[in-house]
Amino acid sequence: MSFDLENLVSDLDIRDAILYYKGNVDSEVINKVLDSAEGRLLSSHENPRLRKKVYNVLVESLQNLYHHADHVPSGYRAARPDRFGLIMMEKTLRGYRITTCNFVTTTRVRELETKLTKINTSTSEEIKELYKDILNHQEITDKGLGGLGLIDISRKTGNRLEYKFVKYDNLHAAFRLSAMVTVD
Amino acid sequence: MEPIIIEGTPKTPTIKFDSREGIFEIKGRSIPENSVEFYKPLNEWLDSYMQVPLDKTVVNIKLEYFNTSSSKCILDVFKRLEAIHRSKHDVEINWFYEEDDEDMLEAGEDYDSIIKVPFKMIEIVE
């Protein structure tokens, strides 16, 4: 099968990608990506409010990959099968777009779609209450708090989360998530 | 009891909880992949402090960034402080946020609405 995670971003209108990584997402990679992104944001004298939002969304996006990317399908070429993903950050006219791609098992697709639909159809006040409810009432696991990262990204950006799933085989789908980070 | 002091790193905050002065501080970035592991010794220390708290405890939170898994661990810290406050001891939480950092201000307001301890929002003007 010739599918690559990169195929998931091929239909995006990418004009000014300032960060791109595909591979195993471990702590060391997360540190390097964050350092690199922060360096770029500082050297371009980006608006501090926007810079902080971008950094926050990048942290949650990378840690979503770290905690929630499922193993790659057998037969897919990856240096390591676990915690494999793609992250890309682009400068846009109004801010930054942060995109992640990873594999999820087919059984998780509906669960993720339900979460994302709920987030995208909620008002900012509802998102805030949802965040507080999960924060206050859900037990934390070694993977964090269920769905709080996605809610946090939505809350910080104030924009709809764009996503798509592409069937890979009967057991796996490839998942793309994009967040537009802007300030008024 | 001895204070607990943990030096900060690029991904974890500096922790200084001084049980003799009753001044506690969390400062810096809290974005580790495994927040539970990082905050475990701090919450264990607080479990001991809760047995013999000072009449007044002042808590200064000066965070630049924190991730969602840290947000739960920080709430666990605040819940222990709330228990101290409930046992008729004075507890004050000062939540510092940088000028224009509305997300950090909102995060403090979230905690303020969950935890029944007086919160003071303090803007840091550069």
pLDDT tens-place string over residues A143-160:
666 679 999 999 999 999
Position B46 pLDDT exceeds 70: yes
pLDDT digits (tens, 9 = 90+) for A86-139: 999 999 999 999 999 999 999 999 999 999 999 999 999 999 999 999 999 987
- CATH number, domain at B48? 3.30.750
Q: Decide if A98 contacts A88 (C-beta within 8 A).
A: yes
Question: A5-182 falls under which CATH superfamily?
Answer: Histidine kinase-like ATPase, C-terminal domain (3.30.565.10)
pLDDT digits (tens, 9 = 90+) for B53-79: 999 999 999 999 999 999 999 999 999
Select the more confidently predicted residue: A72 or A101.
A101
Is the Cβ of A31 closer than 8 Å to some Cβ of chain B? Answer: yes
For residue B90, the tally of other CB atoms under 10 A from its CB is 15
pLDDT digits (tens, 9 = 90+) for B10-40: 999 999 999 999 999 999 999 999 999 999 9
Position A53 pLDDT exceeds 90: yes
Name every chain B residue with its beta carbon within 8 A of the beta carbon of A128. Answer: 106, 110
Number of domains in chain B: 1
**Backbone φ and ψ of A43, nearest 5°:** -70, -20
Tell me, what's the ipTM? 0.93
Q: What is the pLDDT of residue A173?
A: 95
**Domain, as residue range, for B61:** 4-124
Question: Going by C-beta distance under 8 Å and a sequence separation of 6 or more, which residues neighbour residue A84?
Answer: A5, A23, A24, A25, A69, A71, A72, A78, A102, A103
* Domain-wise residue ranges, chain A: 5-182
Q: Do B73 and A67 touch (CB under 8 A)?
A: no
pLDDT band at A3 (very low <50, low <70, confident <90, very high): confident
CA distance B101 to B95: 12
Q: Do A148 and B68 touch (CB under 8 A)?
A: yes
* Mutant choice from B30, B33, B100, B111 vs A, greatest count of A C-beta within 10 A: B33
Position A1 pLDDT exceeds 60: no
Q: Decide if A178 contacts A82 (C-beta within 8 A).
A: no
Provide the percentage of residues in chain B whose pLDDT is more than 70: 100
Q: Do B36 and A60 touch (CB under 8 A)?
A: no
Q: DSSP characters for A119-153? A: HHTS-HHHHHHHHHHHHHHSPPBTTBSTTHHHHHH
pLDDT band at B44 (very low <50, low <70, confident <90, very high): very high
Q: What is the pLDDT of residue A144?
A: 65
Position A81 pLDDT exceeds 80: no
Nearest in space to B74 (alpha carbons), one of B102, B107, B97, B99 = B107
Q: Decide if B6 contacts B25 (C-beta within 8 A).
A: no
Q: Please give the average per-residue pLDDT across A56-80, as a whole number.
A: 89
Nearest in space to A90 (alpha carbons), one of A7, A158, A17, A5 = A17
Position A80 pLDDT exceeds 80: no
> Of A34, A35, A149, which has the smallest distance from its Cβ to B68's Cβ?
A149
Instruction: Give the minimum alpha-carbon distance from B94 to chain A in angstroms, rounded to a whole number.
Output: 20
Q: Decide if B92 contacts B56 (C-beta within 8 A).
A: yes
Select the more confidently predicted residue: A38 or A15.
A38
Q: What is the pLDDT of residue A140?
A: 75
* Mutant choice from A66, A142, A183 vs B, greatest count of B C-beta within 10 A: A142
CA distance A66 to A80: 13
